[in-house]
Structure 1
């Protein structure tokens, strides 16, 4: 760990990441919004990392991963384009792909369904203007989750733009955005298209999206919100490689064997189309009393030709959120009481067939599964003299599954998980302006998802239990003058009945409870405002440095004759360090240079196979271009500048030692956005 700090501090003056957009605001001054009266980060009781426009805009327009990975405690992986993982503090332990044990909201609405799944890859990164990552269990107001909660805020500023970008591997992206006000309506229309052949065989991607929002301010007291999303995604899955296969040809898809076909011959991939719509309503009944409600529904058509089968899944989801909010204030105090509820239902019709080279063949297994989950909560917020901030909440959480086997045998079961009471208490104290300390304790619970209860083995696991645990946390936030912000957080999370992933010899996955884990760590971030320089060439420079340093271990994990107690947690790097510097040249040219260090990762529970550490760098040049007819922003990006050999996501506990998903080596992209 000491070597990592020395390396980072030595290289920091050389690293750079510039934002053409306004980056003058420190994150300590950002307002944290989720479910609450907005409060500055430095006074917040929560453990939260924030990526605003300054961090998000340094990515190419088709990518979100690099911005998320700048945030301490958050980690995003992409084994191949479209195959996302989003983990918070080690929650990728149970995610072969996708997002599990992390709950995600999109403005007023839920992306995570009642079955615990989140199709984050259906979104276009360009619609997102801010990411708030709440780390660890929140207990009361966010319901049952042990990894973390993410609030995605979409673009709200008025404007018209057309953007085009392209790069190596036949990578192309185009988008159109229209946002304006019309009377009492504030509307936005976004549409985008992306395609790429990608770096490896059998890893192409194509995504089409239409996103529409409207906010109708029908009176001074109330407004209606409307959201519609239609996304159509197809991406191929090349599969994991062994170390020897990776060394022989990094770009190949998983090859076939004497008894098992390969990814290319089976046309392995994902076809996913989702239509999501929702309506929200806010109304201030009196100056102190208000009400909020949102209702939503979605339909998903999901198909997955895999090595061993072809799965078709049709999902119908309904969800709601509501709360009553009461606020009162005196000359030096503020109180907010909130009573709310959230709930949803999911019905999944799952059909598995033989995979005849990408075409459904003979039937294998037909199942219908329903999930209902929800919680009611009470939260209390108090502020005293702008110095002491208290945040207490408690929720009652309920989850139930119903399973009906249709073919080849007719069988049914109901799984009612134990009702969980999840409390949370956070305290923050501002010692002096710009300097605060905080403490938090909370309980989390995470039910198994439908994909874990009924995994690719096509069997319903009636023994899989929810994982749960207590998190304790201390933190300090310090702003030095008006130029530098430092945050350090220490946490200790004790997880029981941890859910872990296994694979059969055919590559099918299944899940089991792995006893308990001890997850202790330190997370830190250091940020400066732009330092203005009086030189002809270099006008300003801005620094960012963040890191996560973990000691995550299995405490009590025995499987058959194997005892993994004391081993490092699978799939989680013990150290990650990220650094940025923002340069601005001649008042308008930006140079973005980002570095990401990832330590070795245990790839199986026995810790006998570990990945190599990696250091990856990306650099972006951007500058504006104006005429009398339009304004434009141009950018040019070099990804993986040092031509490193690494994986952007591993297959953990992979049968046959197929752990590796090699990422692209050095490649370039360029784009232009016209603003009208």
Structure 2
């Protein structure tokens, strides 16, 4: 009887033993920031799986014989947690970001926070690794690794950015391209952007959105750049660095930071000095960045920044071809010569921004920001002397609502942005670098704003549809208090409110490949400087540009995920195109000239040769980006001259960047970089061209950690290794043939960075 009872007991117990369960739980966080990772997948060796919530927490019931968990998430290196058989415990893990897999990193563009493979737009990312591949004296070389984008430096610290050939109306400065820093507008209400108030070392990553992005970022036909500040690492740290180079280049930096699960704070000071390759081309820039971020709870984050910039740089001016060939180191001469007139820019700026992100629940979230800008400029130019003071305020708020319509996951984004700037601008005679008699005294008020809405639907068969629309408005009010020649006046330019729609569709062909297409419209009103030129003339008839862009692209992985490919083809038709040309006194004059046809192909390739953390050479890759631009004036009549059919001024038909990177387990690293630009027309008549050029550079260094706390980076490099004679930042349609801004020949740099991390 006892044997029978024992047999029955075993029969009933065995199934229970077979189905015995263990509860495992824990938190998954980012190893660099200590922030929770939302949506990480936890899969047991016995097959059970779950995902982390908004706090990075998970809880999973697994079979008693499960012995490990696999943790994975897009953009992070997958890792394994060993678990004790049948033992309930807390199993937490920090995942390392996969910095070298750009396609898997979530992008902020269009506020969807999706992986790049699921974003239906032409977006390129300049990572922190790319930004650190040179001496960080400027962003030029890093940005020029992106297809479809060209950054010029007409003079040291005088930047110009062209996204898909948008330099027609940018003889100097940045126009028709909108920039944000930490989500806060860096482009001002008057349409201009002072990128030179930032130091390259203040930027962590850059997302570049190409083509019209007005559906969610307001006015603009050239594109949008989203700059993220550099953040402190996990723990407490202090750092210092020094870089020296040719032509009197010096750069000093000190920093202090702290990162934890509750906050991330970085204080950074950079000073950059440069005697200059050319006459009248020295630079002295001081930048203080305070960038705190507080994680108040799993629902809300408070982010802010304070940027103080004290910038002085000299303006050597353009040269004729004869002067360029004779002596590229000379500055512009003559009656209004740069040295004689002490042409330079003195600019003091403070930019303060505050952003609050709040998640109400699993469906609703909001991001709201405010900022203010104060700036003073003292600007002796070749033909006049300008002094102005600017005050600006702005705000942006956007809501995201995630829901399901039927079986379709849908995200609605809507909100608005507003900016108001007030400028007091005075011009004087320039008496050899001294302000003379007052010419004009103006008060300029600029207001710009837009409201936007966007719906993103995850359709069956791995289709993602995006529908977006914005309503944009811009107004300038100019009050002339003093005008020697024509007297005082009031002028208001109120541009008609414009709707900017965008429709995009993406199809995931597999987990590693997707194709996307879009149709988008944008408009770009003239900047205040284009309406009110530096000679005091009011350009009342200038109208906003309007254009429509058609785009088709493919991106993804091949060859066992070693090859990354991103190819985009587009056609952009721009109406009321604004072009610039100079008069005899070098004042830029702007006009609407009809329409342009812009067709292009952009391709980026990256092949990972080695990705083996345990090997001596633990990582190496080769990469290339290529841009083809078939840009033509469609309708362009200037007096008796008909330029219809001519190539677009300042746009090279072919551009190519390529590089090779390698790192070793011992800390040695090598970065090779090459940039090629085809010849390009320098005037609308296509009678003068800038020569093609190939520029190469190399950086060699070693990064080591000493005693577990002191991080050391020693490096040296060469720019323009082949000693190419070329002009970077040509002045298009320049009066008197002064088209050329010579770039430095072969030059060298070396440096040392130290960072101490407190345990």
TM-score range, shorter chain: over 0.9
Paired residue secondary structure (2:117): helix
Matched, 1:127 2:206: no
Matched, 1:437 2:437: no
The one of 291, 316, 325 equivalent to 1:247 is: 325
Paired residue secondary structure (2:586): coil
Could you say which residue in structure 2 is the equivalent of 1:115? 190
Could you say which residue in structure 2 is the equivalent of 1:551? 630
| C-alpha separation in 2, matches of 1:30 and 1:278 | 26
Paired residue secondary structure (1:417): strand
Which deviations, in whole Å up to 9, do the C-alpha atoms of 1:435-463 show, x marking residues without a partner? 11110000010010011111122112110
Which deviations, in whole Å up to 9, do the C-alpha atoms of 1:595-635 show, x marking residues without a partner? 10000010000000000000000110011244336221111
| C-alpha separation in 2, matches of 1:162 and 1:361 | 43
Larger Rg: 2
Shift of 1:186: 2.6
Matched, 1:588 2:667: yes
Matched, 1:210 2:288: yes
| C-alpha separation in 2, matches of 1:533 and 1:284 | 39
Which deviations, in whole Å up to 9, do the C-alpha atoms of 1:311-333 show, x marking residues without a partner? 11111111110012111258974
Paired residue secondary structure (1:478): strand
| C-alpha separation in 2, matches of 1:199 and 1:23 | 39
Matched, 1:304 2:403: no
The one of 602, 623, 636 equivalent to 2:716 is: 636
Alignment check: 8 A CA contact 2:586 2:735 kept: yes
Alignment check: 8 A CA contact 2:252 2:272 kept: yes
Shift of 1:537: 8.1
Shift of 1:154: 1.1
Alignment check: 8 A CA contact 1:333 1:386 kept: no
Paired residue secondary structure (1:451): helix
Could you say which residue in structure 1 is the equivalent of 2:243? 165
Paired residue secondary structure (2:328): coil
Matched, 1:89 2:164: yes
Paired residue secondary structure (1:432): coil
Could you say which residue in structure 1 is the equivalent of 2:275? 197
Q: Which has the higher contact order (CA 8 A, sep 6+)?
A: 1
Could you say which residue in structure 2 is the equivalent of 1:604? 683
Could you say which residue in structure 1 is the equivalent of 2:593? 514
Q: State how 1:9-88 maps to structure 2 within 5 Å.
A: 25-88=100-163
Matched, 1:502 2:577: no
Alignment check: 8 A CA contact 1:500 1:514 kept: yes
Could you say which residue in structure 1 is the equivalent of 2:30? none
Shift of 1:586: 6.5
Could you say which residue in structure 1 is the equivalent of 2:527? 449
Which deviations, in whole Å up to 9, do the C-alpha atoms of 1:292-324 show, x marking residues without a partner? 211111111012111110011111111110012
| C-alpha separation in 2, matches of 1:78 and 1:22 | 33
Farther-moved stretch of structure 1 (276-285 vs 112-121): 276-285
| C-alpha separation in 1, matches of 2:588 and 2:544 | 18
* Alpha-carbon spacing, 1:535–1:340, altered in 2? closer, same or farther (3 Å): closer
Shift of 1:25: 2.6
Paired residue secondary structure (1:419): strand
Matched, 1:426 2:501: no
Shift of 1:534: 12
Matched, 1:263 2:338: yes
Could you say which residue in structure 2 is the equivalent of 1:667? 747
The one of 482, 488, 496 equivalent to 2:561 is: 482
Which deviations, in whole Å up to 9, do the C-alpha atoms of 1:1-44 show, x marking residues without a partner? xxxxxxxxxxxxxxxxxxxx997633222211135232111221
TM-score, structure 2 normalization: 0.84
Q: State how 1:456-471 maps to structure 2 within 5 Å.
A: 456-471=534-549
Alignment check: 8 A CA contact 1:23 1:530 kept: no
Farther-moved stretch of structure 1 (631-640 vs 579-588): 579-588
Shift of 1:183: 8.3
* Alpha-carbon spacing, 1:109–1:287, altered in 2? closer, same or farther (3 Å): same
Farther-moved stretch of structure 1 (413-422 vs 580-589): 580-589
Paired residue secondary structure (1:641): coil
Alignment check: 8 A CA contact 2:610 2:617 kept: no
Paired residue secondary structure (1:54): helix
Farther-moved stretch of structure 1 (645-654 vs 172-181): 172-181
| C-alpha separation in 1, matches of 2:264 and 2:110 | 22
* Alpha-carbon spacing, 1:23–1:335, altered in 2? closer, same or farther (3 Å): closer
Farther-moved stretch of structure 1 (465-474 vs 324-333): 324-333
Which deviations, in whole Å up to 9, do the C-alpha atoms of 1:161-200 show, x marking residues without a partner? 2111010111101111222147844321111111001110
Paired residue secondary structure (1:290): strand
Could you say which residue in structure 2 is the equivalent of 1:236? 314
The one of 414, 418, 434 equivalent to 1:343 is: 418
Could you say which residue in structure 2 is the equivalent of 1:315? 390
TM-score, structure 1 normalization: 0.94
Paired residue secondary structure (2:736): helix
Could you say which residue in structure 2 is the equivalent of 1:397? 472
* Alpha-carbon spacing, 1:331–1:51, altered in 2? closer, same or farther (3 Å): farther
